[in-house]
Every structure is written in structure tokens, then in C-alpha cells.
A and B are shown apart, each in its own frame.
Chain A
């Protein structure tokens, strides 16, 4: 996604997406381009419940992460922080919530 600057998770992915999973949960997936990119996204030292909690301002203990090597996919689910369709809900389908994840810079190789 970034034209310049650090490499992001989105740069290494075919697609990063987010969506409601029912009215009270949000789920997002990183479809990584290859095993190498998957290795970065699936590295729990880099991307884990705590980093996701900080990225989205949600309770770390409620986050569910699924690392699926056969699909080069990392999937993340957590309760919707804002009630669907409420006064403060700016994304009814949660379809744009993947962007902070996609724009997360990956660790630089030494």
C-alpha cells in the first residue's frame, strides 16, 4: 500500500480484508503472496494478540488468531469495538478495518 517507506504487511499480501462476522464480531484475513510472506505474518514474535490489541484498541484476551500455512493466511477475529449501526459506527460492514493491519510495517531484515 505504501508507495515509499517501509515494507508493510499489505505489500506482501494478495489481499488484506476485513468484514463483520455476525453483528458482534469483526474478522480480518491476510492472504500472503508466498510462504516467505506468510512466515513474516505468522511470526508470533511480530504479529500477536498484543500487537493487534494495540493496533485496534481492543481487549487482548478477546482476540482470536488463526495461522493457516496451507493457505498462507493469518486470520484475526475480535469483538466489534462499536455496536453495528450505532451513532459511533462509521463502518457498518467493517469492510475498511483491515487498513491499519495492512499498513503495519514489517520488521526489517538485518
Chain B
């Protein structure tokens, strides 16, 4: 039988354990034991990000493999049960779609049954309905974030999936309803770590600041691969230390973490307001523990929920060849120009496609594929990988274009060669069908009617095992 968490009792501090920056990335099991010994009150872990591109939201597929997520969850669920503390997972399944929440929930259910654990699980769904959002848009309640302009209703309709980024409020609602494991859809990375402390009455400034510092696990420590961190939040600020006793947090490392993946390192907007660390101070308590004070939080006049949406732009086929011949490499720009021209001509001759009916990108890996014209380096490369990436309205056309390009990527000479070279294809067949390609299209916020009304909380009835 599960024990009720004692949520009503006032506390002087809250200890948040952040085992890793990403569920499925792994952590030493001993660091979790250490966190419990130090008195962790809650375990929070982020399960997603947009950082790896629009595919994961657009296709509603997780980036992490099931076995890696299950391994981390098994350790964390055992720890949460042993210490009778909540476990909060945010942005389940990478993008936080409803599929992602259900995917993680399925793994949790299996582990709980397998381990004979009895924990009450809440799912918080964050996927949004395009028609409901269109009504909010029409009534003037959706606003762009820079660098975007106003939203068109057609853009909402074109998305395969739209999620709203929840703040702490839906997570708090689930905890207050008795959930011991909270599996949240898309949430701000910080909300996942801040929710329990805010529920326990910790001040917003230190709580949100601590949440930002811990959301990447050990990123703010001297050895990010050694596991996560523990933040102790109280009325006056927060203290942070690594879970691994051999690893250190220093004032510089902790202060510098505000730079990581932020546009502005001093101010961060959350649904409920803005974290302001401009006046924060960072002091070493010893050689591995840091105290942070002076963080502020300005509650916004209007609570907002940020939207993320992705849509299909077309279908891609990739092909990859390589050049080692020094003569071609000495004229690589001319060669690539000729390749582009020949592909366009041959595609028109054979497939009858004009240039506006498909698109392709030729990337010269080893020469300037990554930075293109911005590359400051000079001189001919030693070898070059030639990637052809084709995008077309359907897969068949994309592959047909890549196949038309195939003889050129095998035999195209430079203009001054009077024989046909044979270049080095990396694989056979050369063409790889990549399926649909996606793009992020939403960078807008919705004025919330209430902080929770865009999110749906489902709490399982307690199941008794064994």
C-alpha cells in the first residue's frame, strides 16, 4: 500500500535531486544512493528537448532508445519508492507529445509490475488542438516571440503535432492530487525541477534559478559525466553540490551555466513570469559546494504558454560519395558547380521537373560542408565527402532525383579532364530514403486562461501488486 506524501507540512528547505540532464543518458547508480543519503525530497529529470531538431515532434517519436530510458527509470523508481519521495519526468518521449507520455508511462508500468512497486502515476498531456488554438488566435490571445511575426491560422493547421510548454502548475496539481510519479508532456526544463519546491512554499527567485542550474544534471560541475547534482532551496537562496563526492561545483561553473543554451543569460521567461539573476551572487561554501543568493522572479501580468509545432516540408533522399583524387580536389568548387548544373539538366531531361518542383543540397564534407562561405580556412582538402540531399513533395520523386544524380556522383570529371574518373561511393545502394522531413513553425505564446487549463491530468488508480 502506498503512503500518502505529507504535502501540507511547512518545511524550511527542499532538496531537489537532478540525476542527469536527459532521461536515458545514464548516471552511476551510486549517485542516486548518495542523493537519498543527502536527504533528497524529490527527484526531477528532463526527458526531452527540441535541440536535436523538428523530426521528434513532427513524427512524435522519441530520440532515446527504450532500453536506455527503462534502465534510468528502474533505478529512479526504486529510489523514489524506497525514500517515499516523488519522481517527476518532464517532456516525456523527447517532444512531450501525448504518444511520448504514453510511451514513458508504458515503460513505468512494466517496471512497477516487475519490481512489485506500488506508486501512483500521473500523466499530464500537453498536446494542443489546432482548432482550439485558432479560436485563441482569432480572439487576439496568441503572440509571436522574436524573431517571428504574426501567426497565420493555416500554419496551425499544417502542423502534425503541437505541444504547449507547461509551467510548474500542472505538475503541482498532479502532486497535490496524490501522484508519486508525474510523467509530464512538454514542460519547461526548469518547471520540472521547480514544481515540488514551489509547492512546498520555497521562494520563486531561488527556486527557478536552482531549477535552471540543475536542469542539465552535472553540466554545472567539474565532471559532467560523473552524474547529477543536488540543490537545496531555502528562504534565502540555494546551495548546490554534485552527487559524486569526487566532483565539484565552483562559483564560476555555476554562474556560467546560466549561459548554456540561453539567448539572454540574466533573464529567462517562464510561463508564470521572468527569472532575473542579474544581481545573483555565487559563493563557495567549501571546495565543492556553492551558495547562490539574490535571484529574483518577477511575476508576469499575463501567464503565457509557449507553443511548439512541427510540420512536414517534403520527403528526403540522401546519397554519399567521396573524392580523393588531388586533381579534382584542387578544383573542387568548379567540380561542385558543374555537378549542380548537370543534376538540374538531367532531372529536367529525364523526370521533366523544373527547379521549383524539388530542391537539393550538395555538401562537401572535408571542404566547407559545415560553415560554407563562412569558413575561415584556406587551401585544398585531402579528401572530400560529397553528400547529396534531395527534397521533393513525395519520396518517389526525391529518390528518382537522387538516382538520376548517381552516375554524375560516380563519374563526373572536372572540365579539363579528358577521361571519366570513378569516385568512391560509401554504400550500395547509394541512395538512402529518409522519409518525411520536418520544420519547426511555431514560436508563439498563448495567453493562458488558467495556468493548467491547456493541460490534461490523468491519475491512475492505485494498483496493488503481489
Interchain CB contact under 8 A, B439 and A31: no
Contact of B252 among A71, A75, A83, A84 (CB under 8 A): A71
Contact of A75 among B51, B148, B259, B308 (CB under 8 A): B259
Per-residue CB contact flags for chain A residues 75-95 toward chain B (1 = under 8 Å, else 0) read 101010001111110111100
List chain A residues, Cβ under 8 A from B148.
24
Contact of A70 among B255, B391, B437 (CB under 8 A): B255
List chain A residues, Cβ under 8 A from B53.
84-85, 92
Interchain CA distance A68-B255 in the complex, whole Å: 11
Q: Least Cβ distance of B370 to chain A in Å?
A: 5
Contact of B440 among A68, A83, A100 (CB under 8 A): A83
Q: List 30 A-B contacts (CB under 8 A).
A: A20-B261, A21-B262, A21-B263, A22-B50, A23-B440, A27-B262, A29-B259, A55-B374, A56-B374, A57-B373, A57-B374, A62-B147, A64-B264, A71-B256, A77-B263, A77-B264, A84-B54, A85-B53, A86-B313, A86-B439, A87-B314, A87-B360, A87-B437, A90-B369, A90-B372, A97-B371, A100-B374, A100-B375, A103-B376, A103-B377
Residue of A nearest to B316 (CB): A87
List chain B residues, Cβ under 8 A from A90.
363, 369-370, 372
List chain A residues, Cβ under 8 A from B391.
87
List chain A residues, Cβ under 8 A from B373.
57
Contact of A91 among B316, B360, B370 (CB under 8 A): B370
Q: Least Cβ distance of A62 to chain B in Å?
A: 6
Q: Which of B50, B266, B376, B438 has the most CB of A within 10 A?
A: B376
Number of B interface residues in the complex (CB < 8 A): 44
Residue of B nearest to A88 (CB): B361
Interchain CB contact under 8 A, B256 and A22: no
Contact of A66 among B52, B266, B377, B437 (CB under 8 A): B266
Q: Least Cβ distance of B254 to chain A in Å?
A: 11
Contact of B376 among A77, A86, A92, A100 (CB under 8 A): A100
Interchain CA distance A19-B440 in the complex, whole Å: 17
Per-residue CB contact flags for chain B residues 347-390 toward chain A (1 = under 8 Å, else 0) read 00000000000011101000001111111110000000000010
List chain A residues, Cβ under 8 A from B363.
90
List chain B residues, Cβ under 8 A from A29.
259
Contact of B55 among A21, A85, A91 (CB under 8 A): A85
List chain B residues, Cβ under 8 A from A68.
265
Number of A-B contacts (CB under 8 A): 104
Interchain CA distance A3-B420 in the complex, whole Å: 38
Per-residue CB contact flags for chain B residues 253-277 toward chain A (1 = under 8 Å, else 0) read 0011001111111100000000000
Interchain CA distance A104-B265 in the complex, whole Å: 24
Q: Least Cβ distance of B338 to chain A in Å?
A: 20
Interchain CB contact under 8 A, B261 and A87: no
Interchain CA distance A27-B313 in the complex, whole Å: 26
Interchain CA distance A90-B361 in the complex, whole Å: 10
List chain B residues, Cβ under 8 A from A93.
51-52
Which parts of A16-52 form the interface with B (CB within 8 Å)?
19-25, 27, 29, 31
Q: Least Cβ distance of B358 to chain A in Å?
A: 10
Residue of A nearest to B387 (CB): A90
Interface size class of A (residues with CB under 8 A): 35 or more
Residue of B nearest to A92 (CB): B53
Interchain CB contact under 8 A, A96 and B376: no
List chain A residues, Cβ under 8 A from B371.
96-97, 99-100
- Beyond contacts A29-B259, A68-B265, A86-B313: 9 other A-B pairs, Cβ-Cβ < 8 A, are A27-B261, A64-B263, A64-B264, A71-B252, A84-B440, A85-B54, A90-B370, A90-B372, A103-B376
List chain A residues, Cβ under 8 A from B313.
86-87
Interchain CA distance A70-B278 in the complex, whole Å: 12
Interchain CA distance A103-B201 in the complex, whole Å: 49
A73 within 8 A of B: yes
List chain B residues, Cβ under 8 A from A104.
376
List chain B residues, Cβ under 8 A from A22.
50, 261, 263, 443
Interchain CB contact under 8 A, A23 and B50: yes
Q: Least Cβ distance of B221 to chain A in Å?
A: 16
List chain A residues, Cβ under 8 A from B308.
23
B429 within 8 A of A: no
B466 within 8 A of A: no
Q: Least Cβ distance of A25 to chain B in Å?
A: 5
List chain A residues, Cβ under 8 A from B389.
87
Q: Least Cβ distance of B256 to chain A in Å?
A: 6
Interchain CA distance A62-B373 in the complex, whole Å: 21
List chain A residues, Cβ under 8 A from B369.
90
Per-residue CB contact flags for chain B residues 227-258 toward chain A (1 = under 8 Å, else 0) read 00000000000000000000000001001100
Q: Least Cβ distance of B250 to chain A in Å?
A: 11
B10 within 8 A of A: no
List chain B residues, Cβ under 8 A from A71.
252, 255-256, 259
Interchain CB contact under 8 A, A31 and B256: yes
Q: Which of A25, A57, A73 has the most CB of B within 10 A?
A: A25
